[in-house]
Amino acid sequence: MADDPDRPGADEWVPPGADLAGLRRAAHECRGCELWRDATQVVFSSGRAGAAIMLVGEQPGDREDLEGKPFVGPSGRLLADAVDAAGIAREGVYVTNAVKHFRFERRGTRRIHMKPAVAHIVACRPWLEAEFEAVGPGVIVALGATAARSVLGRTVRIGEVRGRVLPPDAAGGASVFPVPVLVTTHPSALLRIEDAADRRAAYATFVDELRIAADIAQ
């Protein structure tokens, strides 16, 4: 459901009522915004229908764009470790992104990550809604501000909402997801903390928050 009438968004590419395999196939054709043009491929998700926890990241990074799978780079390793540390079985999580194509800027031979704009987040949200329907999780964990913008349907400051369990109507009705949402930090933000003790403390909080999500999803 694009809020902006000038941008059609992904709606017309999302097959209604499709299962995950059908959604994944259809996403390769998506032209809901311009990000498909420069990306290598769509990066859809990993995980199965029936997973209790839906983890939503920002967008694929360089490695994900090349491999076609979400969270396979450094922040993916941290995320997998944190899921394990929280005592959550891997098959209990469904992992996806708010935006399914890599947005970047070329500098020489390098591709520098660029944050998706709100228009990209809005254009791509129909995929997230369809994934939610196909998976049926009991809780959504939004990793960082982009994911929170998509899931809650409005811009929030992470500091204001972080670690709290937000009921489905916490966004003033802007969220279309009828389950609790927990907003936490993005794993790449944890990787950027330079001081080792601070990084360990932030990681421990992150693991605790995943545990809270797992408890709700029971």
CA distance 137 to 54: 6
Binding site partner of 57, from ligand URA, ligand SF4, none, Cβ cut-off 5-8 A by kind:
ligand URA
Which candidate, 115, 138, 162, 120, places its Cα nearest to that of 53?
A: 138
Indicate the residue among 2 and 72 with the shorter CB distance to ligand URA: 72
Segment 185 to 214, residues that bind ligand SF4, using CB under 6 A: none
- Is 116 a binding residue for ligand URA by CB under 6 A? The answer is no
- Is 2 a binding residue for ligand SF4 by CB under 6 A? The answer is no
The residue type at 196 = A
Span of 120-128, 155-163, 165-173, 184-192 interacting with ligand SF4 by CB under 6 A? 120-128
Q: How far is the CB of 207 from ligand SF4 (least distance, A)?
A: 30
- Is 60 a binding residue for ligand URA by CB under 6 A? The answer is yes
- Is 88 a binding residue for ligand SF4 by CB under 6 A? The answer is no
For residue 132, what are its two tokens? Answer: 């939610």
Count of alpha carbons within 13 angstroms of residue 203, beta-carbon side: 22
Residue 144: Cβ-neighbour burial (10 angstroms; 0-12, 13-18, 19+): buried
Indicate the residue among 10 and 161 with the shorter CB distance to ligand SF4: 10
Indicate the residue among 64 and 130 with the shorter CB distance to ligand URA: 64
- Is 58 a binding residue for ligand URA by CB under 6 A? The answer is yes
Which candidate, 100, 98, 97, 101, places its Cα nearest to that of 37?
A: 101
CA distance 141 to 183: 6
CB 147, CB 62: distance < 8 Å = no
Span of 22-30, 51-59, 119-127, 161-169 interacting with ligand URA by CB under 6 A? 51-59
Beta-bridge partner residues of 182:
141, 165
Q: What angle do CA 206, 208, 210 make, to 5 degrees?
A: 70
Segment 7 to 46, residues that bind ligand SF4, using CB under 6 A: 10, 27, 30-33, 35-36, 42
Give the interface with ligand SF4 as residue ranges (CB under 6 A): 10, 27, 30-33, 35-36, 42, 99-101, 120, 123-124, 127
Give the interface with ligand URA as residue ranges (CB under 6 A): 57-61, 64, 70-71, 73, 75-76, 97, 188
